[in-house]
Structure 1
Amino acid sequence: MLAMHNSLFDQSTTHPQRATWSEFPDVLIHAKEPAVKGHPAYREAKAGDVLAAQVLIRDNFNPAKVAALEALLPGVQPLLVSAHAFEREGVNAIPEVFADVLGQTLGWPVDAGVVQTNVVGHTGADGFSRLARQASFSGPIIPGADYVMVDDFIGMGGTLANLRGYIESQGGRVLAAVALTGKPYSAKLSSSPERIQELRKKHGNELENWWCARFGHAFDALTESEARYLVRTENADTIRNRIAAAE
């Protein structure tokens, strides 16, 4: 079982909660993005068709990744939790069906009680839109219980970071995450100290103070991909302006 760490949370009711990072395993991605998004059943599954989601997952399910997840958590039977994400076309069926298939394969319980409470419109969105429009969650969490997060896609990792923050703020422990597909470079959720130092050096305390006021957390709760995206942005004014425009 992975050693867990003490986390700091934003207790504000106006921001999605996040936990600071320590060591967190890379997200286990089952299939390459073209195989999933180019699948004939993808659009219908994303819009809420459960049968289409079952076909999509059947054709992209990776037993080697399941074995890796089981090896990562020997002797543990965590709850598999998926975000019932609202898309413009409907309620995305992929995460919940994916969690059900993983649960049946591993013999692990599935928690279907956690829901995403807002529409963020991340599908096809650019980085600043993903940063500006963050997912919020609600639902019962069992204090002291172990959880593994399940999602259909990982882009910059913000949705998983917010789901983790919500679960751990309610007393749960998040041990790992799984995605059906996503960007390989986004599999690393935990932002490195070197990346955070680079971000602070480039954009300074003023931007981090603004970020805390706007999002309720400091830079050390960003994912590695989010931090890298901000480091590559020319200056702090551009970041503030682009996020304001994306809202």
Structure 2
Amino acid sequence: MDRVYAFPKETKHFHCFSSDNDIKQHSHYRAAKSGDAEAALQLVDDLAFEFLVTLKDEFPAETIFVSPYAKEATGDNALPLILSLMSAEILGGISDTDIVQLQKVFHTGADPMERLIARPSFEGTVQHGACYVLVDDVTSMGTTLAELANYLLMNGGNIIGSILLVNAGRSEKFRAFEKHIRLLEERFGDEIKNILGIHTSALTANEASYLVGFRTTDEIRNRCVKAEKETAKRLLSKSYSSTRC
């Protein structure tokens, strides 16, 4: 499914840290990233409790907090779901556990193009007209959250915010700058959508900034091919198998 929608302009974005080094130093980090819910709860409580308290007046009552997590993935990162649950508890909202990510995309350690070609998809019931806040532990390109936002918007949800432990992107904004969108549309027409499945207007700020560095469509296509090979090599080195073509 193509990504059609960008984050709405009025969306509020909040993050606790600007580098993942701030959370990697926590004694429970490795266990939390490996799926230990108790470790994740301890980390979030230690590092983000006071941050979440400061957001109490930012979102309306009954806001739904949703994180990109794979329901059936054993040993998967426990931080997004725990952060979502704690956000709902502290901010008086609801944590959604019905909407799930269908596949692991292995973005950890991936470069920008690897992230762009490994787009996650989601399933689950979206409450039409409800207000959603997206919750994740770390983002750099914003690709996963952009795909989740697109899924919610396409199914009638409203995106009013995001909460992150770490926003490590060069730009902390999620909507691409208009000047970058215009430049990419003038330079590539519909080719970004054709190659990546993302409408140019739906790119995040960091995705658009990255793609501005390419001069021709062939450069993008060639980098995609190289990125697929790099992903396969990276996953094999970690004893994973990749089924991407």
In the superposition, the TM-score normalised over structure 2's length comes to 0.84
For residues 119-150 of structure 1, the C-alpha deviation after alignment (integer angstroms, 9 at most, x for no partner) is: 21100110010011011111111111111000
- Tell me, in whole angstroms, the C-alpha distance in 1 between the residues paired with 2:58 and 2:114: 33
Using a 3 Å threshold, how does the CA distance of structure 1 residues 224 and 240 change in structure 2: closer, same or farther? same
Which AA in structure 2 matches 1:79?
Answer: I
Percent identity of equivalent pairs: 33
Which AA in structure 1 matches 2:22?
Answer: A
State whether residues 26 and 189 of structure 1, in contact with CA within 8 Å, keep that contact through their aligned partners in structure 2: no
Which residue does the alignment assign to 1:224?
205
- Tell me, in whole angstroms, the C-alpha distance in 2 between the residues paired with 1:58 and 1:223: 29
Ranges in structure 1 where 5+ consecutive residues have no aligned partner: 1-14
In structure 2, the residue corresponding to 1:232 is in which secondary structure?
coil
- Tell me, in whole angstroms, the C-alpha distance in 2 between the residues paired with 1:87 and 1:131: 24
Using a 3 Å threshold, how does the CA distance of structure 1 residues 27 and 59 change in structure 2: closer, same or farther? same
Which AA in structure 1 matches 2:45?
Answer: R
Question: Which piece of structure 1 moves more, 80-89 or 95-104?
Answer: 80-89
- Tell me, in whole angstroms, the C-alpha distance in 1 between the residues paired with 2:125 and 2:72: 22
Ranges in structure 2 where 5+ consecutive residues have no aligned partner: 229-245
Cα shift at 1:217 = 3.3
For residues 72-128 of structure 1, the C-alpha deviation after alignment (integer angstroms, 9 at most, x for no partner) is: 33x443100111148998321100000111111112111111111012110011001
Structure 1 residues 179-190: aligned runs within 5 Å: 179-183=164-168, 185-190=170-175
Using a 3 Å threshold, how does the CA distance of structure 1 residues 37 and 87 change in structure 2: closer, same or farther? farther
State whether residues 20 and 168 of structure 2, in contact with CA within 8 Å, keep that contact through their aligned partners in structure 1: yes
1:28 pairs with 8, 11, 14, which one? 14
Superposed CA RMSD:
2.3
1:204 pairs with 188, 200, 204, which one? 188
Cα shift at 1:41 = 1.5
- Tell me, in whole angstroms, the C-alpha distance in 2 between the residues paired with 1:51 and 1:162: 28
Which residue does the alignment assign to 2:136?
151
1:178 pairs with 141, 163, 183, which one? 163
Using a 3 Å threshold, how does the CA distance of structure 1 residues 165 and 66 change in structure 2: closer, same or farther? farther
- Tell me, in whole angstroms, the C-alpha distance in 2 between the residues paired with 1:87 and 1:127: 27
Cα shift at 1:236 = 2.9
In the superposition, the TM-score normalised over structure 1's length comes to 0.83
- Tell me, in whole angstroms, the C-alpha distance in 2 between the residues paired with 1:97 and 1:16: 29
- Tell me, in whole angstroms, the C-alpha distance in 2 between the residues paired with 1:88 and 1:96: 13
Aligned length, in residue pairs: 227
